[in-house]
Amino acid sequence: MKARELLAACFLFFGTLLVWPLLTIANHPVLIAGVPALALYLFAVWAAIVAVLVAVAVRHRSLEEDE
């Protein structure tokens, strides 16, 4: 899968994780380790986005160096 296709797929996937119906699932007055569930969910999604973008960038850079 090319980097551009992977980024497009990630954009759609992470975009769907941030739409209102899915946010309401985590929007409960529950604390997990003292942190509201919604804040924890948003942080987890943000961390996953950053991790995927770093992995794609490293992979893309290593493919460029091989050429």
What is the pTM for the complete model shown? Answer: 0.80
* CB-CB neighbours of 66 under 10 Å: 6
What pLDDT shows up at residue 59?
83
Does the structure show a pLDDT above 70 at 14? yes
Structure-model confidence comparison of residues 61 and 54, the more confident one: 54
What whole-number distance in Å separates Cα of residue 5 and Cα of residue 32? 35
Q: Greatest CA separation found in the chain?
A: 53
Q: Which two three-digit tokens encode residue 59?
A: 């992979």
What pLDDT shows up at residue 6?
82
What pLDDT shows up at residue 60?
79
Query: Element (H or E) spanning 38, and its range?
Result: helix 37-66
Question: Please, which residues have CB within 8 angstroms of residue 52's CB and are 6 or more apart in sequence?
Answer: 10, 14
Give 67's pLDDT tier (boundaries 50, 70, 90): low
